[in-house]
Structure 1
Amino acid sequence: MASSNDQNDLTICSVCLEKFKTPRILPCSHIFCHSCISSYLVSSCKSKEAPVGFSCPLCREFVPAPADIGKPATWAEGLPVCKILDKLSRSRESNLCAACQRENEEEEATDICITCEEAICANCAKYHRRNLITSTHVVVPLKEPSVVLQSVISSVKNGSCPEHPDKEVELHCGEHRRAMCTLCATTEHRKCLDVQTVQSIAEKTKKGGSLQELLRKVNNYEQELLMVKKKQENNLSEIDSTSDSILEETKKLRMEVNAHLDKLENEHLNELSKVTKESKDMLNKNIDSVSDRIHFSRHCIQRLQNLEDASDACFMKEYHHVGEKFEMLKLETVNLKEHEIKLKSNISKELRKLKQVERFSKLEVLHSRKHLLNRRDIEDVSFSLIYEIQLPDANICGGNFISDEVIALAKYNSTKKGLWLAGLKRNTWDKVRESDTDDTYFDVQHSDNKLYITNQTNRSVIVMSSNDFTTIAILKYDLQGKLAFRYPVEKSSLYVTVTHRGHIVHSNVKTDTVTCIDEKGVPLWKYVSPKLSGPCSVDRDALDNLYVGGSKSNNVHILSSFGSLIRVLECIPCPAFMKVSERGDMCCVCSSWKNIRVYEIK
């Protein structure tokens, strides 16, 4: 057993506190024995449903499955072996210079050559640096463990061939979608016809937009997982709230009866506690699985975003690696179910008959399951026009979905101004509620059963209840009010939206551009297209896909949150705005500020 004084010994595993035995290195740079990390993987994934990754035992950073997703017992084999530390842990038993030992001499090792993968003494290190052949080798003093560790990690993370770590990736096989070395090309891929240099295929892939397209798909995947996670977390809160309500109802009734109900009350509360725990455990288990997929998606995004400055070899190796992992992730998620659990208690009317009752209450667990992810990519869906409503007397300026089938519309003109609440169903248009006012409403947003309406008449924001249109508050700020940040934009930039990542997207009707800036105002991208003219609106859906309405080009351009064009919806006269329901199966387009078109997305 290693002593506690060996904290700076790089050859000691932080789990078993013994010398490394086949050390495996994680992406976070922490290193563990093969058996230690393998045992940890199996035990930590037992409580997860369809695991796709794990957290580092030390820093808790999420690590995507390095091998087959869903099979944690095989993941340790997919982690790279740190050969240098493996050799060093064996040589440190004697702590002698490996070069001198080959000449039957014994000298204490003071340095380590990362390139040669062996410990050397001070003299060997000096001549190592002087020799023309070994002058480029990385030699690090053993007394500086942090520098040694950093050099070891750098040597592991390079553009070497996955099959032959001692050779560099130079070629790419299009048939097998693999980055490889020259040895692979002359053996396993000798019959393949589509073999190119990594430099040429990397350049084609970058220019072709494949990286941005994969990044967009992973980003949408993450956003959908975040929606599912939020829904399930709300379900957890609902279970707690419902459980508390049942508990209060139980105690209130218990106070109205005599001591004979003590036994029944205890039985009922125990059952409630058990059902609540089982339900929450089930949801927590599902949420952990969703969270892992979100971490997996973010990891893919991070790795893809880091490829901009990578070498071509690393680029193609990582690009295909991430793409394959993403496809495996989607395949592993197909059969994962989204749980929705509700608690219900029907207090028995017989309770007031005292001793005649046998149960305090009947608890019901309403547990429904459905596929975790059921949205299709916006690039592949079809928009089918369900119906179109002509509103010649209206002037619809803005709107927003309150639920999947109800939309709030802000309108004004010379005779009527106010707010509409309309029900959108297949082949029907139902005006649920209307609110008239002398003020001019321009746009409306919805959050937590509240409507936030921009009032142009008195330059304020009105907060209303989405249930009955009652005014909750009026918000008004002057130029001396609290200002978080001021973003300078060009004139005629009237329409703006904010993505989930906090990026601000705005359109300019005069320059025909759509611009995205970050929270500090730094430009991220600008979209210009000859097919886009007069972009008068910018909206987004729950997955951060952007919908830009061309008032003069009579179309809607659908962009990714990274500014790349996904598709164009043509033949939409002067689109004022386009709103997509949170469920993603219906959208509402306001055309020419007077016509409402409702589309089914499938």
Structure 2
Amino acid sequence: MSTKTSLTGFHCPICREFVPDPTKSADPEKWAEYFPKNLVVEFIIDNGGYSALKHCKPCRNDNEEEEANEMCRTCMEPLCKMCAKYHKRGTVTKHHDVIPLHEFEKLVHGGQQEMVCERHNSRPFEVFCYDHKTTCCILCSIDEHKLCRHKDTIENEAHLIEKGGEDDVLLSEIENIYQNLHEFKSLQEKNRTKIEDKADEITEETKKIRQQIVEKLDSLENEHLEKLAKAMKSARKAMDENMEFLSDLLDLSNHCKKTLQNAKTTKYCLNYVHSFHQVRKQVKRLKSTKISLKEIDISVKFTDIFRQFIGSDQWSSLSHREKSKQLSIRVNPQSKLN
């Protein structure tokens, strides 16, 4: 589906030529139904191929075979030289479009598409209606345009257009419109480049901020872990010193125990009495020793900014505003077209 503001046509998927919208009221999916027909191709298909162009059709109608040299595009009939001569002299057919056959054959490849009436079996347009400013066939002129008061032949209208120089005025107007549109497109391209550059700038700034955040987080993490290591070192030292003191007390207690047990087994009174009282003094010392148990707790309180950052659901507040500026095609003051 196209995202254009309005559909004015499309590019042919085969030749890439721009095809204007055939009618404003038609569904884009049905545009193909409104394409002009190439009557040259249609004639060749309907008449069995290029062989239909070899012989004069009026002569074949009289059971004669004459080589065709020319083609009446109005009647869509190949003609021999003689038939073409009288065709151009006939009162009804003297204004028909008769061209050399080789030129007609060229129209198969890249020739202009024929403008014909779809309502009346592809009859050529021969009348111009000034009331509706449109071309039509003879039957349309009698039927749809019977009440129109201003009508003339296509040839006379072409003569009036050329004589009045209206085609040159229209070409000038088209050139003026083209220049305006080209300027508008250039402005739009500049605006697109501007927003693309801005997006690149924001992207680079975003990456820079992210790098700064990563570097800052790394620095804060290292500082935090260094403080933790120092705290652990201090706590470990205090506990190690207290454990060493308790180990000494344990060794003294064990020494007292062994000394008294040895004295009891020797049965030597002097040694027994001396050891007893020495141990007694040490036990008294043990009992009076002040013993403390080191309890060290390490805790951390992370700053609120980290929790806010982790809980954030967006990187930034990004706004996108769009506005339209109405432009008008500057009118050529020399234009005389209505």
| Higher normalized strand content (fraction of residues) | 1
Higher relative contact order (CA 8 A, sep 6+): 2
Q: TM-score, normalised by structure 2?
A: 0.50
Normalized against structure 1, the TM-score is what? 0.31
| Larger fraction in helix | 2
